[in-house]
């Protein structure tokens, strides 16, 4: 009995150990392939289910909504925290599903204010500003639109907790000075401490770790890599930056002095003082009112409706107003707009749902220009450039497409420069029929720079030895474990000379100048748009709205709003974007069912515009 109890209980009976015979491992690779296929099928199934859910969910939600109506009295409202995009990005797709607010581009804001100036329902415009990153050239375009809106006799008010609390707010204040009234929350500050351009220089610290920068430039003003090969600014770089900052500062100071009469005589001295408390700013005339956002909105209610709690006036987000007041096209012919945003590269375009818009796919852009040129209904092509440059070969692909559109298809091509159109950005612009830029656009930089890092000292310092074989005398010229030898450096610098000479010829041909004239204004020097016009690199100072105004005049159309302006390539609807994302991210994406693509084609017919306005927006 005792032995039995030792081995068994009421709840457990020991079992004999089971010996499992080990299977042969000859077909291990088949099991791995099977697992991979299974996981791939799971992922594809999930993608298909998600896309189908999106289709039915979006269709059911979109179809149910009815077109909204604007109130009889409108106060346009915008909360602005940073520069607006030049073109719509990923947020546009999400907004069509109701997952994000409708995006607003800078051009849409300018157009909306232009239309609102003649819309009797619109009584005024309120802008709520927050400290953020603002591009001065874009602020000039918005500022000009506000000044034009003011001429219609409608009120403009701007509000901010502070003007530059986290740093210099000179750009914010530059925009604010175009409004009738400048409001600030109590305890806020006005920081207008001028413009500052500086960068760290890494030569000594790199050499301390055994790394040297071997970069070569054409020519003295092309200082992009200077902070890696020197300890301080070169005389040429210092001269260029001093004149750039000086011209930008003069533009801001002159604009504020012209439109803000309270500080017109002493604004320059106020900039030198820099930072002001709330009471100091009010006393200096920098602001008109120290109070809260809810007070501003209540006063507008009383001004328009006679009482604070009236709902007669609707505060309408200007993004919604821009969408609802769609363009009425009186002309059959179209104006194509092709955007070049970010560093110009060959291929490798990002997914349409990607938030990374820092690179411009030269292949896609060149094709868009050719497509627009081949469309018999397109009368003009606008290339909107906002790029610091990039690959010379990629830039040449875009430039060639512009030349082809002009010469083969006889289409006028106009460049509209955004905040930056330098180096490769100017390369692609040079052959346009006409070049427009904002006064604060940064352009030019006709030059080239390139090289590599030599980390041989770093490897030696930490006992890393390299060994290998090669075929060709210069096969290892791009290696980072050693510097260029004399033959390799000669070859590399020959390529830089070749690019620079091509650049000079391209600008001379496009701008109808002699090569020696171009050389004087080239050498890698960056110019403001205003300076660039003086030296012959730009034809006209103005934004995209001015380009369209001039095209409308040339076609005897009484308003740019009556032009049919179309983006090339045409934007995808959300389902097409999801399909594109799936194709880029899946090895089986190219085989996605055509039936889903057919469904995608019907989505535009299900879409409906939507407007949300609130009696009291949040300032």
Catalytically active residues, by annotation: 222, 423
Strands (DSSP E) found in 47-147: 73-80, 122-129
Element (H, E) at 359: strand 359-361
Alpha-carbon dihedral sign for residues 29, 35, 38, 44: negative
Q: Which residues contact residue 275 at a Cβ distance below 8 angstroms, ignoring those fewer than 6 apart?
A: 189, 190, 191, 192, 193
Q: How far is CA 309 from CA 155, 306, 316, 402, in A?
A: 20, 9, 17, 57
Determine the straight-line distance between the first and last CA of the chain, rounded to whole angstroms.
86
Q: Does residue 443 contact residue 537 with C-beta atoms inside 8 Å?
A: yes
In terms of Cβ atoms closer than 10 Å to its own Cβ (0-12, 13-18, 19+), residue 328 is: exposed
Q: How many CB atoms lie within 10 A of CB 143?
A: 19
Determine the angle formed by the axes of helices 106-116 and 544-554, rounding to 10 degrees.
60
Q: How many CB atoms lie within 10 A of CB 81?
A: 12
Element (H, E) at 56: helix 28-64
Q: How far is CA 543 from CA 194, 327, 440, in A?
A: 24, 19, 11
Q: Does residue 103 contact residue 95 with C-beta atoms inside 8 Å?
A: yes
């Amino acid at each position: 009995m005792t032995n039995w109890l030792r081995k068994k209980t009421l709840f457990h009976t020991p079992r004999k150990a089971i010996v499992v015979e080990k299977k042969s491992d000859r077909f291990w690779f088949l099991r791995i392939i099977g697992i991979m296929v299974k996981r791939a099928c799971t992922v594809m199934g999930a993608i298909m289910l998600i896309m189908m859910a999106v289709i039915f969910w979006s269709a059911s939600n979109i179809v149910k909504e009815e077109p909204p109506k604007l109130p009889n009295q409108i106060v346009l409202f915008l909360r602005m925290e940073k520069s607006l995009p030049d073109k719509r990005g990923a947020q546009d797709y999400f907004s069509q599903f109701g997952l994000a607010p409708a995006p607003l581009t800078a051009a849409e804001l300018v157009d909306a204010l232009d239309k609102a100036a003649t819309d009797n329902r619109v009584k005024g415009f309120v802008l709520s500003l927050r400290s953020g990153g603002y591009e001065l050239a874009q602020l000039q375009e918005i500022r000009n639109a506000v000044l034009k809106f003011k001429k219609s006799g409608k009120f403009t008010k701007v509000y901010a907790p502070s003007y530059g609390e986290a740093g210099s707010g000179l750009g914010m204040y530059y925009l604010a000075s175009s409004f009738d009234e400048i409001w600030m929350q109590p305890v806020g500050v006005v920081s207008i401490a001028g413009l500052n351009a500086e960068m760290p220089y890494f030569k000594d610290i790199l050499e301390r770790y055994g790394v040297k920068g071997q970069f070569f430039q054409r020519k003295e003003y092309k200082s992009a890599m200077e902070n890696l090969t020197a300890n301080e600014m070169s005389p040429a770089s210092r001269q260029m930056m001093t004149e750039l900052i000086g011209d930008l500062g003069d533009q801001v100071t002159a604009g504020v002095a012209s439109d803000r009469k309270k500080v017109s005589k002493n604004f320059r001295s106020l900039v030198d003082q820099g930072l002001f408390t709330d009471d100091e700013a009010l006393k200096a005339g920098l602001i008109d009112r120290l109070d809260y956002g809810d007070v501003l909105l209540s006063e507008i209610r009383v001004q328009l409706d006679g009482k604070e709690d009236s709902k007669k006036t609707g505060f309408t987000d200007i993004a919604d107003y821009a969408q609802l007041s769609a363009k009425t096209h009186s002309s059959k012919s179209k104006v194509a707009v092709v955007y070049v945003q970010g560093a110009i590269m060959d291929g490798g375009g990002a997914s349409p749902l990607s938030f990374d818009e820092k690179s411009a796919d030269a292949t896609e852009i060149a094709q868009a220009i050719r497509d627009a040129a081949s469309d018999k209904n397109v009368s003009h092509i606008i290339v909107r450039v906002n790029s610091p440059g990039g690959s010379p070969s990629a830039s040449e692909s875009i430039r060639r497409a512009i030349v082809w559109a002009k010469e083969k298809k006889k289409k006028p091509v106009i460049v509209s420069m955004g905040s930056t159109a330098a180096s490769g950005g100017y390369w692609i612009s040079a052959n346009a029929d006409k070049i427009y830029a904002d006064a604060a656009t940064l352009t030019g930089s006709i030059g080239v720079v390139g090289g590599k890092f030599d980390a041989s000292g770093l490897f030696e310092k930490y006992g890393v030895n390299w060994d290998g074989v090669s075929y060709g005398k210069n096969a290892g010229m791009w290696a980072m474990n050693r510097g260029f030898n004399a033959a390799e450096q000669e070859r590399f610098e020959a390529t830089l000379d070749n690019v620079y000479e091509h650049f000079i010829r391209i600008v001379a041909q496009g701008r109808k100048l002699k090569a020696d004239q171009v050389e004087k204004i080239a050498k890698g020097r960056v110019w403001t748009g205003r300076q660039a016009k003086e030296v012959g690199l730009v034809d006209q100072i103005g934004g995209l709205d001015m380009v369209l105004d001039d095209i409308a005049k040339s076609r005897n159309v009484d308003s740019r709003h009556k032009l049919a302006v179309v983006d090339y390539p045409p934007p995808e609807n959300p389902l097409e974007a999801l399909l594109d994302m799936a194709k880029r991210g899946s090895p089986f994406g190219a085989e996605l069912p055509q039936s889903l693509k057919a469904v995608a084609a019907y989505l535009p017919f299900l879409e409906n515009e939507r407007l949300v306005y609130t009696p009291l927006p949040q300032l």
